[in-house]
Structures are given as C-alpha cells and as structure tokens.
Structure 1
Amino acid sequence: MRLLQKLKRKSSPTHRGSGSNYAYATARVRAMKSNLLPRETYPRLMNMGIDEITRFIEESQYKQDVDELARVYDGVDLFEHALNRNLGVTFTKIINISEGELNYLISEYLKKYDIWSIKTILRGKYCNASVEEINDSLVAAGQLSYTFLSSLAEKESYESVIDALSGTDYYPTLKGYDGTNLSAIENQLDKEYYNGMFYAIGTPGSNDRKLFSKFIRTEIDIKNLSTLFRLKKAGVGEDEIADLILEGGLHLSMKEIEKLLPLPFSEFINSLEKYPYWEDISDIVSPEMDSLVDLETQLTRHSIKSAASFSHMYPLSIVPIMDYVLNKKNEVNNLRIILRGKAANLDEEIIRNQLVI
C-alpha cells in the first residue's frame, strides 16, 4: 500500500512547483557521466573473449552489482542482471538527488521503465515464459521496485498481475487486457505515458521546458519512424499503422505522418529526405533492405547526438540529465549486446553493427 501511495504522490501536480536544485543535480550528473566507459573501450572489448569481458565488468563500476547478485546467478545471466540492477540504482540515485520541479519531471520521464517492465511481465505470461526468463528483462529504473516487479512475475496469471497494479495510474488501461489484445494495450500504455509527459511539461514557457519538450518530441519522432519502417516493410495496412502512431512529434506531426501512410515503401523512403533524420539513415535505407537493426541503431545514435547538442545549449537544465540517462542506457545496451553476441558466437561484424558508439 505504501508503494502505491508513493506512486500517486509522485504523480501529483503539486510536485510541479519551484525549489529545483538544477546546479547541484547537474554537477552530480556530470560527475556520474565522467564514469561512463570511453568510446575506445568498446573496440577493446570486441577483441576479448567472454572470460576477459566478464573480468572487465567485475572490475568496473558494476562490481558491486555483480558481487551482490553472484549468490543467485552465474554466467552471462549474472551480468545481465547486474547491468539491469546498476541501471535501476543509477536512475533512482538521480531521482533522489533532485528536488522540486526537477524531481517531478525526471520521475515522470523514468516511468517509461515501469511501463517497459509491465509489458515484459505481460508478454512473459502470454508466452508462458518462466519467472527467471521474465526477471532477466526487468529494469527497475522507474518508480516500481525490483522486489515489486519480480513479485508480479511470480503471479500465476495476467489477471493477478493486473489486479496487483490496481492502485496505479496504469490500471485503467491494463484492465482492458483480455489475454489476446496485448499489442493494443502496449500501444495504449505508450500513448498514456507521453500524454503524461506533456501534462508534466505543461505549456513550456521557459527555455528549459521548451528544450525538454523538444527532447521528448524528438523521442516520439524516433519511435514513430521505427514503427513506420517496421510495419510498412511488413506490408501492414495504412489504418493499422495509424493506430500505432504516437502524437506530439517534433518534425513528424500527425499531418506529416498522414501524408506518409499511403505511400509505397520505396516512395516512403524517398519522402524522408526533407527531414533532419535523413542524414543519419540515408546510407542504410533502401527498398531492398532486409533488416531494420542498422536503422534502429542509427536512430538511437541520432537521439544521443541530439541530446548532447541540447545539453550544451542549456547546461543548467534538465536536458544534461536526460543526456546522461540516454548515454548510461546506451552503455548498458552496448555491454549487453557484446556479452550476448559473444555468448551466441555471433560474427563480430554483426555485433559491431549493433553497437552505438
């Protein structure tokens, strides 16, 4: 009950007031960012075997997470859990060192990890995955603790999972899940999340809020582009794609997207030349493209570059913190890609192409 009260309290508009400690929080985050792995680390890791990589992680900033989880897990699973745990601890620390409006905005943004974990649990139940398999993918980096999330993973049915979330903001959407319409529920959770973000930002009068709004709207553009590529490539109908599009994009407004929806795949690609994302994807997209992995990697790279440029414009704002959040998440993703790729004996070129460096 205390957890659910805490969730409601943090979601309250009363936390949108002043009293933010931007100077202190951004200074702390800059120090945290200095501990991220340098770019040159990744080529070194690519030249290592599994044993050397695991030893490197054991001796890095992830040491405490590895040590605490070693009693429960081993092998690559140990490092998967250690990486997820470190991500959760790191983002919780950011929430704890921030105050006032800043705390409110960060907390709202990090709810995306609550939604990720809820989706993971429901997908797991849908696919009859084991509790261990579900727990492998949980990221307790939002407001729901790992203990609470793992207790949801242990529930016997999706109904009991949803009942346990009845005191949260997610429940009105989740109660519409009937065991068959998972994609629709996941999409609705995403839409509610971004509606919540725009409510939290409000009418962006200050430069700080304008920049944060631009950051969120760019994120929506990236998600919508990925959705358009994936579904158009699969030949999904125009109406079905429209249902999955998120509103609020920066350059890809709903009006712009409505123009793109009826286009054949080749014409759709050509029409993207006028958008700022084209520079990053032009050399990898074509009507004959088989995989979208390279595309999604390039879009992630664009997000990180954009956040970095926003960060330099307003160093005493929420954007440098978002810049760190993206880079930290990317570091964890890169390490996971290398570990899983090496463990699966994937070709090094395939692994390297998925890294965002």
Structure 2
Amino acid sequence: MPNYNVINAKVHSILGRRLLHEDYRNLSRLSGTYDIAGYLSKNTDYSKYIEINNTPDIHRDDLERMLKKVLVYYIDKFDNYFNGEYRDFFMTFYLKYEIYDLKKIARLIHIDGELSTLKNYLVFVDYYKNIHADQIVKAKSIAELIELLNGSIYYPYLKNLVDGNKEENLFRFEMALDKAYFVILLKKIKKLSKEDIKAFYNIFGPIVDMLNIQWIYRGKKFFKMYPDELFNYTIEGYGKLNYKLLKDLCYTKTIEELEEKIKRTEYSFLIKGDDMQDIYMERRMNRYIYYKAIKTIRKNKKDISSVLALMQIIEFEIRDIISITEMVRYRIDSSQVGDFLIKAV
C-alpha cells in the first residue's frame, strides 16, 4: 500500500503554493502574455517552469505549453510514490491529458486551422510514444486523424465515427475519447484496495455524472443526436445517474423536458434557465468539482483521494491562467474576470 502519510504531507505542501486571489486579480490587470509569463515566473510557484527571455513576443501557445509541463512534472513526481497496480492506475493521467492534445488537433482541423507548427505545442502526445505526433499533425480531416490513430488505445472507440459528417464528428470525436478514458480508468481502479476504490468513486462519480448531463444536453440541443446514439456515449458505473436514469434523460423528447429531469437530480444547479445557461454550464460543473476537491484534501484521509483531488486543482488552476491570458488578449475588463474562471475570485 502507498504511504499516505507522506503523500498527504506532500499534497498539502503543494496546495499551499497554489495561486492566491490576489494573484488572479494581478494577472487580470496585465497587458499581455509576456507580462503574465513574467509575473508567474517572478511571483509564484510556476517560476521553475516558465521560461522567458527579453523578447515581448511570447505567444499564448508558448505559455500554455510551459504550463502543461507542470502537469507532466506532478504526474511524474507522484508516480514515484506508487508501484505495481497503483502506478499503473496513476499513469492513466497521462492518457487524460494526451486526450486534451488530441482534442486540440481535432478542433484545429475542424476550423481548417494550421497544423504545421502545432507539434511544437503538444506536450502529452508523443510523451510516452503511444502516438507519433509527427504523423497525426498531417491529418486533413477528423476522419483522417482517426485513421492515423489506428493501433492506439483510442482507435476501438473512434473507428465507428468515420461517416463524413464534419459538424457532428468533432463533438462525437470528443465524446468518444472521453468515454475511452473513463472506461480505461474504471478497469484500472478495480485493482486497488477497497478504501481507495471508494475514494475514487467519491471524486469521479460526480465528474462523470455531470459529463453525462453535459453531453446529453449538448447532443440534443446543438447536434440533434438520436437518443440511442446519445445513450451509446454515456458512461455507466461511476456516479448516481444509473442505467435507467441515463436512458431516461437521453430519450426525453424536448430540451424543456430534459431540463426538468436534470432539476430533479442533485445537479440541478447546472440548469439556471437564463440566457447564460449554455455558456456557464461547464464552469458550474468545474467549480463544483474544484471546491469538492479542496474539501477532500482538507479531510486528510489516508487514501488516494487527496492526490487525485490535487491533480484536479492543478489542472483547473492552469486552465484559469490560460483563460486570463485569453481575457487579456481580447481586452476584456478585469472586473469581469470572475465570469471566465473556475475558481471564484
């Protein structure tokens, strides 16, 4: 069994070095990516990861690449505390972030973006040579990208998507990758102790429940997907939304009926009924997960929960920094920073 006394002490130490409310406010008042990178390198725990020089033309993608390397660093760091089945489980975090890179490629393809220099910004793809980045960045369509992933762990979940529907393929591509990750994760967790399995479900159960709700909602509202197809992409075996309830949500006839059924679950806060509901649904999901993770670490249980929660917190903090960079880039007033972030500031 892992030494959770040592692991939890390390978790609390790292949590104590996360950004403060003041850091978020200071970052939002800066004038560009170079200034944000400079602030992080001089005033925060990111100093050892942010590489800047005297040129002010640092690109947003450069900063994102540096920040993503922080995730690699912490996965590698905590990986050293585990062995055997536990190490095998913890290594699945690389898959999670590798999927982020694959989604980025797919989105660029979808908007006919330029992929020629993208390889330089992919942190997780190619890290363990599961996928060859120099090959997949040659894809001209999502269907071609799927074929270039033939032989990877993801291909069995993607191969049935090749149908030429450009608009729907991107959404389904992302859903299929997420489902692949959680199916793989579910297989790994079953090999751990009963205490750690329980801790895992406590964290990931709500995450998967809310992902299912988001997919069903978006699939119905924006992509007019058929109920049976939606149900095929849902993930079972994690949270409180069981087989019957998930199927019930998928087979609702209208968005209004779906919203009413969601309101009867413990995730009713996702449905506000206002004009910003679609925009803020994901933020509401992530805030729920973020603050649950904070509470989980404070309980200091001798199980795997604290390190799983910390990885989620670090990921969200990095996503918030990237959001602030985008906000600064588009000259959005700093007083609106709270509208764009996962952490409430």
**TM superposition score category, shorter chain reference:** 0.7 to 0.9
Q: 1:20 aligns to what SS in structure 2?
A: coil
2:57 pairs with 1:57: no
Q: 2:21 aligns to what SS in structure 1?
A: coil
**Offset at 1:209?**
1.2
Whole-Å separation in 2 of the counterparts to 1:69 and 1:147: 33
Q: 1:213 maps to what in 2? A: 201
Q: 1:170 maps to what in 2? A: 154
2:181 pairs with 1:193: yes
1:317 to 300, 303, 317: 303
Within 5 Å, give how 1:129-278 maps onto structure 2: 129-131=113-115, 134-135=118-119, 138-140=122-124, 144-145=127-128, 150-155=133-138, 165-176=149-160, 178=162, 180=164, 181=169, 183-202=171-190, 206-234=194-222, 236-239=224-227, 240-261=229-250, 262-278=252-268
2:320 pairs with 1:334: yes
Whole-Å separation in 1 of the counterparts to 2:157 and 2:223: 28
Give the alignment's TM-score, normalised by structure 1: 0.78
Q: 2:6 maps to what in 1? A: 24
1:155–1:232 distance in 2 versus 1, CA, 3 Å: closer
Whole-Å separation in 1 of the counterparts to 2:122 and 2:16: 26
1:15-39 CA-partner distances (Å, limit 9, x unpaired)? xxxx433333332232222211123
Q: 1:151 aligns to what SS in structure 2?
A: helix
Residues matched between the structures, number = 334
Whole-Å separation in 2 of the counterparts to 1:53 and 1:293: 25
Amino acid at match of 1:265: I
Amino acid at match of 2:72: G
1:99 to 83, 86, 98: 83
Whole-Å separation in 2 of the counterparts to 1:123 and 1:210: 35
Give the alignment's TM-score, normalised by structure 2: 0.80
Percent identity of paired positions between Structure 1 and Structure 2: 20
Q: 2:50 aligns to what SS in structure 1?
A: helix
Q: 1:55 aligns to what SS in structure 2?
A: helix
1:52–1:104 distance in 2 versus 1, CA, 3 Å: same
1:167–1:100 distance in 2 versus 1, CA, 3 Å: same
Whole-Å separation in 1 of the counterparts to 2:40 and 2:150: 39
Whole-Å separation in 2 of the counterparts to 1:132 and 1:53: 26
1:76–1:224 distance in 2 versus 1, CA, 3 Å: same
**Would you say the 8 A contact 2:297–2:309 is kept in 1?**
yes
2:39 pairs with 1:38: no
**Would you say the 8 A contact 2:157–2:177 is kept in 1?**
yes
**Offset at 1:132?**
5.6
Whole-Å separation in 1 of the counterparts to 2:109 and 2:132: 13
**Would you say the 8 A contact 1:311–1:320 is kept in 2?**
yes
1:299–1:173 distance in 2 versus 1, CA, 3 Å: closer
**Offset at 1:165?**
4.9
**Offset at 1:123?**
4.2
2:287 pairs with 1:297: no
Q: 1:6 maps to what in 2? A: none
**Offset at 1:210?**
1.1
Whole-Å separation in 2 of the counterparts to 1:344 and 1:297: 20
Whole-Å separation in 2 of the counterparts to 1:236 and 1:349: 37
Amino acid at match of 2:340: Q
Q: 1:292 aligns to what SS in structure 2?
A: helix
Whole-Å separation in 2 of the counterparts to 1:246 and 1:349: 38
**Offset at 1:113?**
1.3
1:251-309 CA-partner distances (Å, limit 9, x unpaired)? 2222112223315323333333332222x446xx10x5355222211110111222333
Whole-Å separation in 2 of the counterparts to 1:20 and 1:166: 36
Amino acid at match of 1:217: G
Q: 1:66 aligns to what SS in structure 2?
A: coil
Between 299-308 and 151-160, report the one with greater CA deviation.
Answer: 151-160
Q: Which runs of 5+ in 1 are unaligned?
A: 1-18
Whole-Å separation in 2 of the counterparts to 1:235 and 1:184: 10
Amino acid at match of 2:330: A
Whole-Å separation in 2 of the counterparts to 1:69 and 1:202: 47
Q: 1:89 aligns to what SS in structure 2?
A: helix
**Would you say the 8 A contact 1:304–1:326 is kept in 2?**
yes
Amino acid at match of 1:107: M
**Offset at 1:103?**
1.9
RMSD: 3.5
